Amino acid sequence: FPVTISALVVSAENLNTYLKYEKIKSKNKNPFKIKTDSIIKIDSEIQRGLDQETKALLQEKSKVEEIKEVLLGISDGVRQKAFLGCLIWNVRKNSGTLKKRKVSPEDSKFEEYELSIETTEGIYLPDSAHRHLGICEAVIEYSKNPEKYPDFNPNFEFPVEIYHLNPNQERDLFLELNS
C-alpha cells in the first residue's frame, strides 16, 4: 500500500479558495454541492455518496456547523477547542504530479522544501470532508463580520497529508480511516 508522499500546511483562507461549493436550500441535512471548477473534489462513490433527490454530498450539515462554530469561538461551551487532525488530500496517479524543490539556504541546519502540485483532475479528499467544509464555512462567516470573531485567524494553517493513489487505493484509504 503506498505511503504518504508528503505533508504541508494550508491556511484556512487558501483552503476556502481551493474548495468551491454551493449550499442548496433543502429540508435535507446534507446541503453541500461541490462546484465543477473546484480544485478540491470529493468522489461521491468513494466518500459517503449523494442524496438521490438533491444530488448533494452526504456530508452532514451538523458536523460542519460544529467545526465552524468551534473555530469561530461560538461553541456552546462543551467544546472550546477544535482538534481537527490532518486534512487528507489525494493527487490521483495518472492525473497529477508532486514536485519537491529545496528552498532552504545551503548553510541552514534545517531543510525546507516547497511542494508543487500539478493535476488535471483536481485534488480529491479520501477523508476529512467535514473538516474542509467546516473550515471554509468559518472563513465565509468570518469575512462577513471579522470584528464578531476576534479569536479566528483566516491565516491559521492546518496540516495536510498528501497521498498519490489511484481511485481504488483512495477507496481503501477512506475505508481504513473511517473504520
Tell me, what's the pLDDT at 3?
Answer: 40
Gyration radius from the chain CA atoms: 17
Task: Tell me the average confidence (pLDDT) per consecutive run of 10 residues in the chain, 179 residues long.
Answer: 57 94 76 88 79 70 87 71 82 82 87 82 88 95 95 92 91 87
pLDDT, residue 156, reads 92
Q: What pLDDT score was predicted for residue 5?
A: 44
- Contact between residue 69 and residue 152 where contact means Cβ atoms under 8 Å apart: no
